[in-house]
């Protein structure tokens, strides 16, 4: 890639790309397979429908630029994160109506709307072609049964890497919201994809809080199949108030 574009439908906030989606997209600037362990640090709002430049550096990292504005830094990493066993499938389905993504008037800036980010590509139920990952609280985790669509598949019939990164984005923020903590935007996402599931497969997405260090709120998230097979994992850092 010499340049990269985030289409408008892959938004998170109304005027910026979804952090998980752009993380997955940007990860391929240093690992075209999209399956490596990659850390993406977001430095500025991600412009939509605009060509951004990819500057690869000799150390294997990359900088994503909008002219002279640094949008993101991308680098390969070695990292470990314990992934807890997800809740039981039936527990998740029973808890689904409690998802904050389905509640009205929870964002003071968006009165009368549904969910905290109504038009987000990941969790927005008002997004016409979004992924609809609507996690609900179960014990010390949040989780969702994610119904993927065959039409999302690439030529090999598997889900795009970007969609897996997307699905592991917002759940981390909702894990904090369920604890009464409203964080700011995503600052960093580090992810590894072990295997891409088939488009149309029903999956399980879980997330949990890890630790708060000053304004940094660390969360983990993961994607499984119904048998508990782990497809991918991510660690996110959400910027918030101390």
How many Å apart are CA 204 and CA 222, to the nearest integer?
8
For the chain, give me the number of helices (H) and strands (E)? 4, 11
Beta-sheet strands, E only, within 18-156: 38-42, 52-56, 62-66, 69-76, 136-138, 141-147
Q: Is the predicted pLDDT of residue 239 greater than 90, yes or no?
A: yes
User: What is the reported pLDDT for 111?
Assistant: 84
62 beta partners: 56, 74
Q: What is the pLDDT of residues 8-22, one digit of tens each?
A: 999 999 899 999 999
Rounded average pLDDT over 172-198: 96
Domains of the chain are: 3-76 (no CATH), 89-239 (3.10.129.10)
Burial class (CB in 10 A: 0-12, 13-18, 19+), 37: middle
Q: What is the pLDDT of residues 31-43, one digit of tens each?
A: 888 777 999 999 9
How many Å apart are CA 163 and CA 40, to the nearest integer?
15
DSSP 150: G
Q: What is the pLDDT of residues 63-101, one digit of tens each?
A: 999 999 999 999 999 999 999 999 999 999 999 999 999
Rounded average pLDDT over 115-140: 95
In this structure, are residues 2 and 143 in contact, taking their beta carbons and an 8 Å threshold? Answer: no
Mean of all residue pLDDT scores within the chain: 95
User: What is the reported pLDDT for 1?
Assistant: 66
238 beta partners: 186, 217
Beta-sheet strands, E only, within the chain: 3-4, 38-42, 52-56, 62-66, 69-76, 136-138, 141-147, 186-193, 202-213, 216-224, 230-239
Give the predicted TM-score (pTM) of the model. Answer: 0.96
Identify the three-state secondary structure at position 154: coil
Rounded average pLDDT over 166-185: 96
Q: What percent of the chain has pLDDT over 70?
A: 99
User: What is the reported pLDDT for 242?
Assistant: 46
Q: What is the pLDDT of residues 149-158, one digit of tens each?
A: 999 999 999 9
């Amino acid at each position: 890639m010499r340049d990269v574009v985030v289409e408008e439908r892959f938004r998170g906030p109304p005027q910026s790309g979804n952090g998980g989606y752009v993380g997955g997209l940007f990860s391929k600037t240093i690992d075209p397979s999209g399956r490596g362990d990659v850390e993406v640090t977001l430095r500025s709002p991600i412009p939509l429908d605009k060509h951004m430049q990819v500057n690869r550096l000799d150390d294997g990292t990359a900088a994503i630029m909008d002219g002279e504005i640094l949008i993101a830094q991308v680098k390969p990493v070695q990292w470990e994160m314990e992934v807890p066993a997800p809740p039981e499938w039936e527990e998740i389905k029973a808890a689904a109506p409690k998802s904050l993504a389905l509640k009205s008037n929870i964002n003071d800036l968006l009165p009368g709307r549904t969910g905290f980010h109504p038009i987000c590509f990941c969790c927005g139920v008002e997004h016409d072609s979004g992924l609809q990952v609507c996690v609900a609280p179960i014990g010390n985790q949040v989780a969702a049964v994610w119904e993927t669509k065959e039409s999302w598949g690439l030529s090999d019939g598997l889900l795009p890497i970007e969609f897996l990164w997307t699905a592991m984005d917002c759940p981390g923020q909702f894990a904090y919201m369920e604890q009464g903590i409203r964080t700011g935007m995503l600052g960093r996402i580090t992810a590894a994809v072990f295997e891409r599931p088939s488009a149309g497969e029903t999956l399980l997405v879980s997330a949990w809080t890890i630790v708060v260090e000053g304004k940094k709120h660390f969360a983990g998230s993961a994607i499984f199949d119904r048998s508990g097979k782990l497809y991918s994992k991510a660690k996110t850092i959400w910027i918030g108030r101390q």
